[in-house]
Structure 1
Amino acid sequence: MEPPVPYKTSSVAARVFWPSAIVILGFVLYAAIGQETAADHVQTVQDEIVGNLSWLYMALVSLFVIFVLWVGIGRFGDIRLGRDNEKPEFSTLSWLAMLFAAGMGIGLVFWGVAEPLNFYDAPMPGTGESEAARSETAMVRTFLHWGIHPWAIYVVVGLAVAYSVHRKGRPVSIRYALEPLFGDRVKGIWGDIIDSIAIIGTLFGVATSLGLGVMQVASGMNYLGWVDDPESKTLLVILIACITAVATLSVVSGIGKGIKWLSNINMGLAAAIMLFVIIAGPTLFIANGLVQDTGLYLQEVARLSFDTGASQGDEGTTWVNGWTVFYWGWWISWAPFVGVFIARISRGRTVREFVCGVLLVPTLLTFVWFAVFGGSALKQQMDGKEDYTDGGVNTNNALFELLDTLPGGTFVAGVAILLIVLFFVTSSDSGSYVVDMLASGGDPNPPIWSRVFWALAEGAVAIALLLASGSGGTASLDTLKTAAIVIAFPFSLVMVGMCIATLKSFREERAAYLKAKQEREHERIIDRAVAAMEESIDVNGNGDTGDGGAGGTDAEGATATLTKKDKG
């Protein structure tokens, strides 16, 4: 039975809902009115964080990877996130589809072609000058940013929340993941602050992705000749408003209907487009590149995980801050949302299943995705068939430029726009659902009116971030990236507490399990000893015809003495 939630006085947790709503709405108004001034202020904060704390981001995320691998592989892996012998709530395929679509689907579509090309065109200082070196480094760096590191971040949050919710029966809330550390204090002001940080971080993280996605949709529409100015803020605002409306309808329908169906549709469309590029593109190069780049990643992942760029001077650290630190901040800002969401859909799975499913399967799928899209573009670039880097890589347009080189690419580009929109919707509705659970005191079925409110709030934040971005285009992208890094910092400290709390809970459960096992084994030994003694005495008693009664009495006394002594 779930414990009472003292901070929940109505259909929402007032001490969490209203402070979070006020901060978010205040930022929306500030960004909409101030625009250029807001962009400058956000950039100033980002400079302070990245300039002074980038080393902390690099170290923390690497430690998160080590932590989740140790937990999943080690002796805690058999702990079940639910009652003993409970079956998973969703099938494995639907489970993977939902966590993949919510975790990074829209980002993969946006960066699948653009990121390897950006790294090829402007590699990190110290990379070799040859095409082969730049190509290999581009793919390995991309794998670093989208491989086990982001999913390890999600596992840290998801595992802590899933254990507290499904194993301990707590409400769906970030605060209760820290209960092993703070006890009943999580029900007070500190718990309110933790949940509020999670809500604000989720809104900004999802809004960052939605802003990137809508910019790519506008570029695709321009590439197909549907609009003239893809950087028009009016167009971007209209697109966000329309897609947010669809996401609102989806989140109102609930997790078992709209969110699940859209996630499955997303996976089907993404697989179809990827299969098309494999067949129509450089198939052999893609296969060879996937195997080679995965091997290089495995060789380099430890070194790259701690590479701050310091050995390359200011240029090196600037490059790492602009890419790797941005990604770590982006994933951390998404962690409350994705972590709570995958915790919600992971009831009944063991810790080992959770870690392997969330950490390894999406990582392998991500590597295949980048090998197909990024590898195809790099092959065309190196063969001289296309020049994606002439005047710099057009990040928003890169996917459509690749598809245009393939037979039937125009039609597939239209399907790609639909895929982006659907990923946009699933990110927004999943994020809204999670935020609403947090703002409703952990209620797994929050009220419809608050679902609508948070879905609209996400769209409003995305619009505000685009308005606070100067002239659009690169400026918009920079502001969106800046917001992700800034909002991630306070939650990264919460995640450290989650690691400690999870470890403490698992050790206590493991100790209780071993104690119970030892007691059961001790009882079995006693029972076997008693049974053997009774059998021996029974045989001796049957053979002694002279004093059977006395023998029987002595046998009973001996048995009672043995049992009393051993059990004592």
Structure 2
Amino acid sequence: MKPVAAESSIGQEFNIRIMGLNFHRVIFPVSFFSIFALVLLALSNPAFFGQALEGVKGWVLTNFDWFIMIMGNMAVLFCAGVAFSPLGKIRLGGENAKPEFSTLSWFSMMFAAGMGVGLLYWGVAEPVAQYTGWWKTPLAVLPNTPQAADMALGATVFHWGFHPWAIYLTSALVVGYFSYNKGLPLSLSSGLKPLIGDAHKGLPGQLVDVFTVVLTVFGLSASLGLGAMQATAGISHVLGIPNTFAFQLLFIVAVTGIAAFSLWRGLDAGVKLLSNINMALALGLFLLVVVGIGLLQFFFGAFNAASDYVQFFLPLSNWIDRPDQDWLQGWTVFYWAWWCTWGPLVGIFVARVSRGRTLRQMVLMVMLAPTIVTVLWFAAFGGGAIAQITGGSSPLAAGLTDVSMAIFQFLDVLPMGGIASLLVVVLLVIFMVTSVDSGALVVDNLSAGGDTETLPPQRVLWLVMIGLVTITLFVVGGDTALKGIQAGTIAMGLPFMGLMLLLMIGLVKALIKDCRG
């Protein structure tokens, strides 16, 4: 199958050029003014706005938990079905397409975009929370028991394993196939073509892309603002710098500035370089922790984490007659909806860096490799923290009082804990930079009608927009407005899952037709 020349479709025929910059005449202005209007609404009454969106989020998680759980499971089955069927042989870009990036750089970029910061933040906190019953326990096990220790690792890996990456991958497969093999723009709206034909160029497709831009910008803004508070708490702990509001604000500005420099340099010289550096530093931190807790304990913990994941995979995937309904909605359903807010960002970014790979290679790399890393990571950090608690050597034994500080409290007990904590701070900064860079690339592509060859000023424009939205909400509304925006983006995970179902149907229809043709 030969690669197809890019179709103008939703992109070029609706674009306007201003001083060399390329904007879609509908997607760009509608997205821009939608974001502006929502920021003004959030700032008009941050407390009421946050409370209202928290209510919407709670309603979604409570009343649509069944649908969200079904779609999470379906994403895993869908990706596995594509990989192990004859459809998996299809290569993005055609039979003769060659990968643009090495396997290591490919993995590093998608992993940094997908969940790098999250593993630092929750690497210790979530297993400890599940073990101690900080907010209920999975499958209603008794907290602080050997069974709770097994369940803590199994449930944590479940939340960070196959399911989130399958949600990301669904978007990546759709966008990559229709863009590189059918010549359509690099956007989710292209996946609607098998279902609605050329109407994907018009209002339905434009609404999908506007939705994607708004979801990505606010998801990143909430993560950047809340992440800044977490990162500065860590910096204060390690370096003794007072964690003031001004310091948090300066941190956001610094991350945005570093990200702008990286993005200006481009995907290869900027984002890829930072992602590779990040993976090297993450490996260094991981090895320090493994040595600190002991090789024997680590290997035992890794075996337990993997076996617990397998053992509890089906019980945790079930949503019917659960004895832990509150925990299910507060943890698993929340996670699946949260991964959906990052689904367009990570999915489109993974598609962009996966040209030349077969669909089978994408599934195996995107689902298996991060899950293996997740098992090893939580075995070292989470398993090590639980061992500290049971041994009475950790301040975490008194309870999980500050989630953002859990990893530092764990590292303080280990040899070379100061060096490890400093590495965590550096990793937090670079992971946040790569995530923001990836998101800015995605919204820039979408606002340009799927054009991936925009000029550096245009890419940086969206990054500055994300930074300004974060700073504005942070300065005026504080964490109340940011958490409200986060709640709103999680609620938007529900319509995204409905869209995901349509995209799955459209992709299967197109792939089967392609194989037969």
Q: Deviations over 1:233-280 (max 9, x none)?
A: 443332212211111121121111110100000000000000110012
Question: Does the alignment pair 1:94 with 2:121?
Answer: no
Question: Normalising by structure 1, what TM-score?
Answer: 0.85
Matches within 5 A, 1:500-539: 500-512=505-517
The separation in 2 between residues aligned to 1:281 and 1:419, in whole angstroms, is 21
Q: 1:205 aligns with which of 216, 219, 224?
A: 219
Matches within 5 A, 1:308-347: 310-312=321-323, 316-347=324-355
Question: Does the alignment pair 1:60 with 2:65?
Answer: no
The separation in 1 between residues aligned to 2:178 and 2:201, in whole angstroms, is 14
Which amino acid counterpart does residue 80 of structure 1 have in structure 2? Answer: R
- Aligned-pair CA distance for 1:103: 0.9
In the alignment, structure 1 segments of 5+ residues that lack a partner are 513-568
2:218 touches 2:486 (CA, 8 Å); kept in 1? Answer: no
Matches within 5 A, 1:410-425: 410-425=418-433
Which amino acid counterpart does residue 6 of structure 2 have in structure 1? Answer: E
Partner of 1:290: 302
- Aligned-pair CA distance for 1:326: 1.5
Which amino acid counterpart does residue 101 of structure 1 have in structure 2? Answer: A
The separation in 1 between residues aligned to 2:399 and 2:144, in whole angstroms, is 20
Q: 2:162 aligns with which of 133, 136, 148?
A: 148
* Partner secondary structure for residue 388 of structure 1: helix
* Partner secondary structure for residue 88 of structure 2: coil
Q: 1:133 aligns with which of 136, 147, 156?
A: 147
Report which of the two structures shows the higher radius of gyration computed on alpha carbons: 1
Q: 2:27 aligns with which of 16, 34, 37?
A: 16
- Aligned-pair CA distance for 1:481: 4.8
| Stretch of structure 1 that moved more, 169-178 or 108-117 | 169-178
In the alignment, structure 2 segments of 5+ residues that lack a partner are none
Shift in CA distance, 332/277, structure 1 to aligned 2, threshold 3 Å: same
* Partner secondary structure for residue 9 of structure 1: strand
The separation in 1 between residues aligned to 2:350 and 2:235, in whole angstroms, is 33
Matches within 5 A, 1:464-479: 466=474, 472=479, 479=484
The separation in 2 between residues aligned to 1:285 and 1:450, in whole angstroms, is 50
The separation in 2 between residues aligned to 1:302 and 1:24, in whole angstroms, is 40
* Partner secondary structure for residue 446 of structure 1: coil
Question: Does the alignment pair 1:120 with 2:127?
Answer: no
Shift in CA distance, 338/370, structure 1 to aligned 2, threshold 3 Å: same
1:244 touches 1:455 (CA, 8 Å); kept in 2? Answer: yes
2:130 touches 2:138 (CA, 8 Å); kept in 1? Answer: yes
Matches within 5 A, 1:103-252: 103-122=114-133, 123-124=137-138, 126-129=140-143, 131-228=145-242, 230=243, 232-252=244-264
Matches within 5 A, 1:241-390: 241-307=253-319, 310-312=321-323, 316-390=324-398
2:43 touches 2:481 (CA, 8 Å); kept in 1? Answer: no
- Aligned-pair CA distance for 1:466: 4.7
Q: Deviations over 1:38-95 (max 9, x none)?
A: 2112112212212211221111111111111111111211111112132211111110
1:465 touches 1:480 (CA, 8 Å); kept in 2? Answer: no
Which amino acid counterpart does residue 150 of structure 1 have in structure 2? Answer: P
* Partner secondary structure for residue 236 of structure 2: helix
Shift in CA distance, 371/212, structure 1 to aligned 2, threshold 3 Å: farther
The separation in 2 between residues aligned to 1:484 and 1:291, in whole angstroms, is 36
RMSD over aligned CA atoms reads 1.9
Shift in CA distance, 369/3, structure 1 to aligned 2, threshold 3 Å: same
1:31 touches 1:468 (CA, 8 Å); kept in 2? Answer: no
The separation in 2 between residues aligned to 1:440 and 1:99, in whole angstroms, is 22
Partner of 1:566: none
Q: Deviations over 1:463-498 (max 9, x none)?
A: 45656877x5xx688546523411212221111111
Question: Does the alignment pair 1:458 with 2:458?
Answer: no
**Kindly, what percent of the aligned residue pairs are identical?**
36
Question: Does the alignment pair 1:482 with 2:487?
Answer: yes
Shift in CA distance, 355/498, structure 1 to aligned 2, threshold 3 Å: same
Q: Deviations over 1:429-479 (max 9, x none)?
A: 111011100110111122333322211222234345656877x5xx68854
* Partner secondary structure for residue 7 of structure 2: coil
Which amino acid counterpart does residue 93 of structure 1 have in structure 2? Answer: L
- Size of the alignment, in residue pairs? 503
Question: Normalising by structure 2, what TM-score?
Answer: 0.93
- Aligned-pair CA distance for 1:9: 2.8
